[in-house]
Amino acid sequence: MMMERISKDYEVGDQAIDNLISELVKLSGSVETEDLLREILTTTVKLGRESADKGDLKLVNNALKELRYSFKIFSPYRGVKKVIIFGSARSKAKSSEYKMAEEFSRKLSGKGYMVVTGGGPGVMEAGNKGAGSGKDFALNIRLPFEQKPNPYIDEKEKLINFKYFFTRKLVFVKETDATALFPGGFGTLDEGFEMITLMQTGKSRPRPIVLMEPKGSTYWATWMHFVKSQLVKKGFINKKDLQLVHIVKSVDAAVKYIEDFYRVYHSIRYVSGLAVLRLNREISAKTLKFINKKFKDILISGSIMPASPTVKEIQEGEFLNLPRLAMNFNMRDYGRLCEMISVINKD
């Protein structure tokens, strides 16, 4: 996610209340989080003073509680890569997409990944069923129909029930590193388009998004035809945006695509106008020269250069042992950025 901005002048405006907030912050958090906690508490007080609408307060209260609990559950597993599986809740256990999702989940969890699903039946159930014991999460949405937790969630504390779609979606993105989309209905397409939109606009870090369908299926091929004929051809998106997704028709191809995405590339951080790519190992001089030539169009100025950790990264202790590349990325061509990551991974 993008860097947060903290204002030290953000106050209620009532000295007595602001002093109480400061005292409460000192009792509640660490030195590193004091400013953020002060803003959260200040916002809460401002909301209480400014809004007489109980519905507004209930929405904020429920959303904050859902996010707090989700972060608590995921926090111990932040060092483990996770894949989110989306697909139809109506897929039967004998369907080819159900079987494919189950096999995909089993193979990926066998390689050390954890699996996150929407917690319901169909493809989601297949994802939880295939995951190794203790290697899955379920983010269920409370609906009046269809969406009941499936029976393959091993550890009940890893089942999180959400009232709101928007908090559930936020956790889907924040807590995972890869996305697998199987054939599905409105919900699947909504979640898929949102993932792609967040990538396209830079609101989500680069990640592999695989569109999976069994052999013989034309679901994603038909979808891609629509995207090319209606969105690309009419100028609603750039052709380079198609680099954000990858269609596969086999489990092994999907697993390989996800593993390859993180073979050399590790993560990215935007600091003071720079895009800093953290790598699992240094790349060759030949590859560095090649990406500078091939991807010059995505730079505002300068070149792609090896770099040391930034001051911000050092302060926060972020992967200080990893080699880095830094560049003045234009913060626009994220499809091209994913293409560059693919080239780096082939080094």
Q: Which among 30, 50, 75 is the end of a domain?
A: 75
Say if residue 203 is in the same domain as residue 332: no
Residues 224-233, mean pLDDT to the nearest whole number? 97
Per residue in 85-101, pLDDT tens?
Answer: 999 999 999 999 999 99
- Whether residue 240 contacts residue 228, with contact meaning beta carbons closer than 8 Å, is answered with no
Residues 228-235, mean pLDDT to the nearest whole number? 97
Residues 43-64, mean pLDDT to the nearest whole number? 93
Say if residue 83 is in the same domain as residue 215: yes
The CATH number linked to 227 is 3.40.50.450
Q: Which among 261, 277, 294 is the end of a domain?
A: 261
Q: What is the pLDDT of residue 4?
A: 45
Say if residue 256 is in the same domain as residue 184: yes
Say if residue 237 is in the same domain as residue 123: yes
Residues 49-64, mean pLDDT to the nearest whole number? 93
Strands 324-329 and 274-279, by their bridges, are antiparallel
Residues 78-85, mean pLDDT to the nearest whole number? 96
Residues 312-322, mean pLDDT to the nearest whole number? 93
Q: What is the pLDDT of residue 272?
A: 85
Say if residue 248 is in the same domain as residue 271: no
What number of other Cβ atoms are within 10 A of residue 74's Cβ? 21
Q: What is the mean pLDDT of the chain?
A: 93
Chain-centroid distance of CA 231 in Å reads 24
Residue 181 lies in a domain: yes
pLDDT at 146 over 90: no
Residues 212-221, mean pLDDT to the nearest whole number? 96
Residue 127 lies in a domain: yes
Residue 5 lies in a domain: no
pLDDT at 236 over 60: yes
The region of weakest confidence among 31-45, 225-239, 243-257, 325-339 is 31-45
Put simply, whether the predicted model's pTM sits higher than 0.95 gets the answer: no
Residue 316 in tokens: 């926060």
In the chain, the percentage of residues whose pLDDT exceeds 90 is 86
Residue 307 lies in a domain: yes
Q: What is the pLDDT of residue 46?
A: 94
Better-scored residue on pLDDT, 285 or 29: 285
Cα separation of 65 and 11, whole Å? 23
Say if residue 228 is in the same domain as residue 339: no
Q: What is the pLDDT of residue 2?
A: 40
Cα separation of 78 and 139, whole Å? 16
DSSP 8-state symbol, 82: E
Say if residue 128 is in the same domain as residue 253: yes
The sign one gets for the Cα dihedral 88, 89, 91, 93 is: positive
Q: What is the pLDDT of residue 233?
A: 97
Cα separation of 151 and 121, whole Å? 9
Residue 325 lies in a domain: yes
Residue 256 lies in a domain: yes
Q: Which among 209, 239, 261 is the end of a domain?
A: 261
Residue 2 lies in a domain: no
Q: What is the pLDDT of residue 157?
A: 85
Say if residue 187 is in the same domain as residue 57: no
Say if residue 200 is in the same domain as residue 327: no
Q: How confident is the model at residue 33 (pLDDT cuts 50, 70, 90)?
A: confident
pLDDT at 1 over 80: no
Say if residue 244 is in the same domain as residue 277: no
* Domains held by the chain: number: 3
Per residue in 237-276, pLDDT tens?
Answer: 999 999 999 999 999 999 999 999 999 999 999 998 899 9
pLDDT at 7 over 60: no
Domain encompassing residue 299 = 265-345
Say if residue 130 is in the same domain as residue 234: yes
Strands 299-307 and 324-329, by their bridges, are antiparallel
pLDDT at 144 over 80: no
Say if residue 150 is in the same domain as residue 271: no
Q: What is the pLDDT of residue 43?
A: 94
Better-scored residue on pLDDT, 157 or 269: 269
